């Protein structure tokens, strides 16, 4: 559902009666088969309205995005297109209070669930069922909101896991303390703490390891992650040194240094990633809350 977005002349159709009345008065485009009744300006036939039996449909390109039922039910269906076009047509027809928008490639709307919780709800992969709120203020009740699941850290399990890496973490903190220095960032002109990248030491390892093969944010489960993890879990300080060099080279080694903050975060991510089944648990978000799953790519 791409193209120019023009909502000129598109009516507000908050309920079945309004949609029925508008559809009845729109004249179809002459000579078109099947019949086409433009929703707004007559030159923009990609947005149309039609009646089939008792149902009224608002169509955007090839998708019936809004369906009105005589009993007051309104069905929303993006057809998988969480686009500005779809959202602007929905807003023009149903009103600004619905606030459709894209978040993580899916459409979310503002509505109230049947328990009275107003918030942001993700449209179902199928069809989302709405009714107009009884107070008639332009708000809607959502009857089948999706339960949103995200991964969260089990703190007790996380502490148990980190205890297994105690030797490496102690070595890593010492390495940082000994090599720490400061540089001024080119763009922000802020002074940040960094550690120089030891290319010679990394090359001397001759492990066949390529730093760009650590893809924690993309959930890679390759042998290089397994190698670094094994070195971190070792009780040998030499292995801890190797793991540290590998982790500092994660940016590909084309920089002269890596920020202390970045490499410390990476160590934490590596531990979480390699122990994700033990440390991460799924939990449902409260109704009406919109949030990102920060660990979705770990699985």
227-242: per-residue pLDDT in tens? 889 999 999 999 999 9
Predicted model pTM: 0.82
**β-strand partners of 56:** 51, 68
pLDDT band at 210 (very low <50, low <70, confident <90, very high): low
Instruction: Return the domain boundaries, the chain.
Output: 16-145, 152-279
Residue 75: both structure tokens together: 């069905």
**What CA–CA distances, in Å, run from 255 to 179, 196, 213, 252?**
16, 9, 17, 8
- With 50 as the cut, is the pLDDT of residue 1 above it? no
Pick from 17-26, 39-48, 120-129, 179-188 the range whose average pLDDT is largest.
Answer: 17-26
Residues 6+ apart with CB under 8 A from 113: 119, 121, 141, 142, 145, 287, 288
On the CB side of 79, how many CA atoms lie within 13 Å of its CA? Answer: 17
Note the pLDDT of residue 218.
Answer: 45
Measured between alpha carbons, how far apart are the two ends of the chain, in Å?
A: 31
Over range 31-41, report the average pLDDT. 90
Note the pLDDT of residue 59.
Answer: 96
pLDDT band at 222 (very low <50, low <70, confident <90, very high): low
- With 90 as the cut, is the pLDDT of residue 147 above it? yes
Over range 125-152, report the average pLDDT. 92
**What CA–CA distances, in Å, run from 21 to 15, 24, 25, 140, 156?**
10, 5, 7, 21, 61
The per-residue pLDDT of the chain, averaged, comes to: 89
Over range 94-109, report the average pLDDT. 94
Task: Please give the biggest Cα pair distance in the chain.
Answer: 82
**β-strand partners of 106:** 103
Q: Which of 252, 245, 237 is nearest to 267 (CA)?
A: 245
Note the pLDDT of residue 208.
Answer: 56
CA 86/CA 76 separation, integer angstroms: 10
Over range 283-287, report the average pLDDT. 97
């Amino acid at each position: 559902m791409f193209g120019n977005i023009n909502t000129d002349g598109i009516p507000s159709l908050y309920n079945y009666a309004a949609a029925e009345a508008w559809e009845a008065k729109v004249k179809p485009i002459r000579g078109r088969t099947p019949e086409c009744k433009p929703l707004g300006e007559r030159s923009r036939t990609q947005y149309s309205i039609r009646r089939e039996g008792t149902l009224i449909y608002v169509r955007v390109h090839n998708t019936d995005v809004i369906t009105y039922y005589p009993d007051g039910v309104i069905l929303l269906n993006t057809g998988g297109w969480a686009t500005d076009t779809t959202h602007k047509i929905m807003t023009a027809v149903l009103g600004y209070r619905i606030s459709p928008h894209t978040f993580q490639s899916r459409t979310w709307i503002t509505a109230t669930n049947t328990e009275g919780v107003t918030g942001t709800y993700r449209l179902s992969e199928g069809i989302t069922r709405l009714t107009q709120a009884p107070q008639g203020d332009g708000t809607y009740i959502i009857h089948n909101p999706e339960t949103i699941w995200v991964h969260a850290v089990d703190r007790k399990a996380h502490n148990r896991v980190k205890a297994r890496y105690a030797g490496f973490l102690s070595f890593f903190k010492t390495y940082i303390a000994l090599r720490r220095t400061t540089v001024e960032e080119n763009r922000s002109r802020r002074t940040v703490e960094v550690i120089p990248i030891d290319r010679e030491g990394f090359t001397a390892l001759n492990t066949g390891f390529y730093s760009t093969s650590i893809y924690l944010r993309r959930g890679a489960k390759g042998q290089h992650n397994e190698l670094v993890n094994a070195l971190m879990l070792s009780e040998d300080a030499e292995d801890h040194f190797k793991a540290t060099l590998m982790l500092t080279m994660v940016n590909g080694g084309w920089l002269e240094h890596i920020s202390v903050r970045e490499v410390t975060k990476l160590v934490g991510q590596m531990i979480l990633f390699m122990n994700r089944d033990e440390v991460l648990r799924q939990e449902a978000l409260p109704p009406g809350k919109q949030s990102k799953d920060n660990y979705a790519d770990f699985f």
